Amino acid sequence: MVLTAPLATLPLSAAEPFIIVQSTTSTQNSGLYDAILPLFTATSGIDVRVVAVGTGQAIKNARNCDGDVLLVHARASEQAFVADGAGVSRSDVMYNDFVLVGPADDPARLSDTTNVAEAFAALAQGETPFASRGDDSGTHKKEMSLWQNAHVDPTDASGAWYRETGSGMGATLNIAIGMNAYAMTDRATWIAFGNKSGHKIVFEGDEALFNQYGVIAVNPERCPAVKATEAKAFIDWLLSDAGQGAIGAYQRDGQQLFFPNAQK
Amino acid sequence: MLEIGTAFSAAFGLIIGLDADLIEIIALSLQVTLTAVLVACLIGFPLGALLAVGRFPMRNALVVLVNALMGLPPVVVGLGVYLMLSRAGPLGVLNLLYTPTAMVIAQTILVTPIIAALTRQVIEDMNIEYDELLRSMGTGRLSQMQTLLWDARYALVTAALAGLGRALAEVGAVMIVGGNINHVTRVMTTAIALETSKGELALALGLGIILMTLSIVLNATLMGFRRTAERMAYA
């Protein structure tokens, strides 16, 4: 009796229409989705189910047709996704920036550097511990391009001062804090992060740290099960004044986390 | 630094507040896990009994395999089930990915070998005493299995509890096939993983304390049933 009860109550497919969004983690961990998605659901009657994994994983899942919309932050991979026919078209949604966080005493003196290439070179030179995502996420792709600009191949030092966690942003930050290492994170995740301990932002503001988020509808011709109408309604809303306004209005600790920049 | 006390007060606050989201998450955890364990029992009990009393080629190899599968990594099960249920996979048309049903399937795969292996051990030990008697009565293999399973029913509760513990605790499989979708597939363990990744360590640990409490209550209830039933049976 006790054991048969759960069978009967397993929810069948919900009556309310829904879409699945394959997403990067920062938009979920920072609380953005909790703030804006109910507004869309209220006006459209469409429930938005977010699967928040890294950008790399989200793109792979969307390529397998396991989602209706892709919302990530790695422009080159996004453009490839559309060029391959996996996605319909890509639109800018919003941006913020990446920051380098590290121990409060900043042993590698990153706060004295003037651009991000210098900062990364200082990290390599000082051989100070650096926790990398190492997971093919949007943040990881960005980090690798920044190392390249600084003419450093950190993977030579993998396991020494360069530590590839192979984990999400939050897990990597927890690790960085645990071993007093530097890390690169998007600003939204950092502001919302609850376990900052003694760590703080040690480098920010270089234009190269720009972080653009894009949204793409999964191609219904390639993936017939995609809910194209609902997906389009969601993307249209995100790019509309209402959606853009909701993104801009979202704050944590009095700070705006995402800056809407959809093209009018 | 985080204090364990903060975690306990977070757990206490969550329970006192009787947060609707929390109740939903606990309810889904119980639904998924209890359903998976029930299905795993329905498969694992007869399978274990068959391995214990059956005489067929490759039996020993099968026993080794089932025992080894007790150590299946949840992430591997999750990935396997994902590949089957993905739209790009063979069962994609069923539309089950990112649903509680997918989570039940993954946990059933995870738990069945545990229940089957423990059942086999219990039944095999019992069969040493029963085998001669049952065969002298001309009992067939099938009814021999039935008799042994029925007589071992109290010991089998422990096998079910071992499976329950595994299912309630794992995060790797349900994270991949459920997707940790808020209000749809978020369960206790995936919520703990999410709060950890947000750096909300006290809240994560608080949820962990609630999960442990839940596990203790479930175990105590089932043991209570077993005691009462045993007393009534032997009174």
- Percent of chain B whose pLDDT exceeds 70: 98
Decide if pLDDT at A14 tops 90. Answer: no
> CA–CA separation, B110 vs B92, rounded Å?
21
A8 within some domain: no
Does the pLDDT value for residue B111 go beyond 60?
Answer: yes
| Chain A CB contacts of B164 below 8 Å | none
Report the pLDDT averaged over residues A153-159.
93
Prediction pTM value: 0.90
| Domain boundary residue, one of A167, A186, A209 | A209
The residue-averaged pLDDT of A235-251 equals 97
Could you tell me the pLDDT band of residue A1, with boundaries at 50, 70 and 90?
Answer: very low
- A146 and A186 in one domain? yes
Average pLDDT, chain B: 92
Cβ distance B106 to A86 under 8 Å? Answer: no
Residue B2: what pLDDT? 55
Inform me whether the C-beta atom of residue B38 falls under 8 Å from chain A C-beta atoms.
yes
B137, pLDDT greater than 90: no
Per-residue pLDDT at A264? 74
Whether the CB-CB separation of B192 and B180 falls below 8 Å is answered with: no
Query: Is residue B113 scored above 50 in pLDDT?
Result: yes
Q: Which of residues 67-96 of B touch A (CB under 8 A)?
A: 86-89, 92, 95
Q: Is-contact B115 B45, C-beta < 8 A?
A: yes
Q: Which residues fall within 8 angstroms of residue A95, CB to CB, at 6 or more apart?
A: A210, A211, A212, A213, A258, A259, A261
Q: Judge if A195 and A140 occupy the same domain.
A: yes
Q: Which residue of A has its CA nearest to B83?
A: A64
Give residues with Cβ within 8 angstroms of B218, minimum separation 6. B164, B168
Within-domain flag for A179: yes
Whether A168 and A192 map to the same domain: the answer is yes
Q: What CATH number has the domain bearing residue A140?
A: 3.40.190.10
Q: How confident is the model at residue A11 (pLDDT cuts 50, 70, 90)?
A: very low
Q: How many residues in total does chain A contain?
A: 264
Dihedral of CA A208/A213/A215/A218: which sign?
A: positive
pLDDT band at A2 (very low <50, low <70, confident <90, very high): very low
- Pick from B1, B87, B184: which is nearest to A225 by CB? B87
In three-state secondary structure terms, B139 is coil
Question: What confidence score (pLDDT) does residue A12 get?
Answer: 44
Q: How many CB contacts within 8 angstroms connect chain A with chain B? A: 93
> Predicted confidence band at B58 (pLDDT cuts at 50, 70, 90)?
very high
Tell me if A7 is assigned to some domain.
no
Average pLDDT score over residue span A63-76: 96
Residue A159 CB contacts under 8 Å (≥ 6 apart), including other chains: none
Per the listing, tokens 């209000």 go with B183
When mean pLDDT is compared across A185-199, B83-97, B131-145, the lowest value belongs to B131-145
Whether A14 is covered by a domain: the verdict is no
A52 plus A183 within the same structural domain = no
Do A121 and A147 fall into the same domain?
yes
Using the predicted structure, report yes or no on whether residue A15 has a pLDDT greater than 70: no
More confident call, A5 vs A174: A174
Is A61 within the bounds of a domain?
Answer: yes
β-partners of residue A260 are: A94
pLDDT of B139 reads: 83
Query: A-chain residues within 8 Å CB-CB of B38?
Result: 3-4, 6-7
Query: pLDDT band for position B3 (50/70/90)?
Result: low
The total domain count for chain A is 2
Question: Could you give the CA distance from residue B187 to residue B78 in angstroms, rounded to a whole number?
Answer: 15
> At CA B50, angle to CA B45 and CA B54, rounded to 5?
165
Show which of A209, A232, A249 is a domain's final residue. A209
Q: What residues of chain A have any CB closer than 8 angstroms to a CB in chain B?
A: 2-7, 9-11, 13-14, 20, 25, 28-29, 33-34, 49-52, 61, 63-66, 168-171, 173-174, 192-197, 223, 225
Higher pLDDT pick, A12 / B196: B196
Give mean pLDDT, residues B17-42. 93
Whole-angstrom Cα Rg for chain A:
20
Is B99 touching A (CB cutoff 8 A)?
A: yes
pLDDT of A252 = 93
Instruction: Say whether pLDDT at A184 is over 70.
Output: yes
Residue A3 lies in a domain: no
Residues of chain B contacting A66 with CB distance shorter than 8 Å? 86-88, 97-98
Q: Rounded to the nearest 5°, which phi and psi values hold at A102?
A: -165, 180
A205 and A118 in a common domain: yes
| B34-45 residues labelled b (16+ CB within 10 A) or e (exposed) | bbbbbbbbebbb
Measured CA distances, B191 to A6, A87, B85, B101 (Å): 20, 30, 23, 18
Residues on chain A touching B89 (C-beta within 8 angstroms): 64
Owner of token pair 């978020």: B186
Question: Which among B165, B116, B170, B126 has a CA at the least distance from the CA of B148?
Answer: B126
CA distance B76 to B109: 11
Beta strands in chain A (DSSP E): 18-23, 47-52, 69-72, 87-102, 130-132, 162-164, 182-186, 200-203, 210-218, 251-252, 255-256, 259-260
Contacts of A28 in chain B (CB under 8 A): 194
| CATH number of this structure's domain B4-234 | 1.10.3720.10
Phi/psi of residue A90, nearest 5 degrees = -110, 135
Do residue A113 and residue A196 come from a single domain? yes
| Cα–Cα distance, B178 to B184 (Å, whole number) | 8
Q: Whole domain around residue A25: which residue ranges?
A: 19-96+212-260
User: Is residue B158 within a helix (H) or strand (E), and if so which, with residue range?
Assistant: helix B153-169
Structural tokens at position A82: 């559309």
Scanning B168-187 for CB atoms below 8 A from A yields 179-182, 184
Residue A145 has pLDDT above 80, yes or no: yes
Residue B219 at interface with chain A, using a CB cutoff of 8 Å: no
For chain A, give the mean pLDDT. 92
Nearest CA to A190 among A206, A201, A180, A203? Answer: A201
Domains of chain B, by residue range, sit at: 4-234
The whole-number average pLDDT for the span A180-197 is 95
Task: Answer whether B98 touches A (CB < 8 Å).
Answer: yes
In a domain, A230, yes or no: yes
With cut-offs at 50, 70 and 90, classify the pLDDT of residue A39: very high
Phi, psi of B97 (to 5 degrees): -60, 145
Cβ contacts (< 8 Å) between A54 and chain B: which residues?
none
Please state the rounded mean pLDDT for residues B139-159: 91
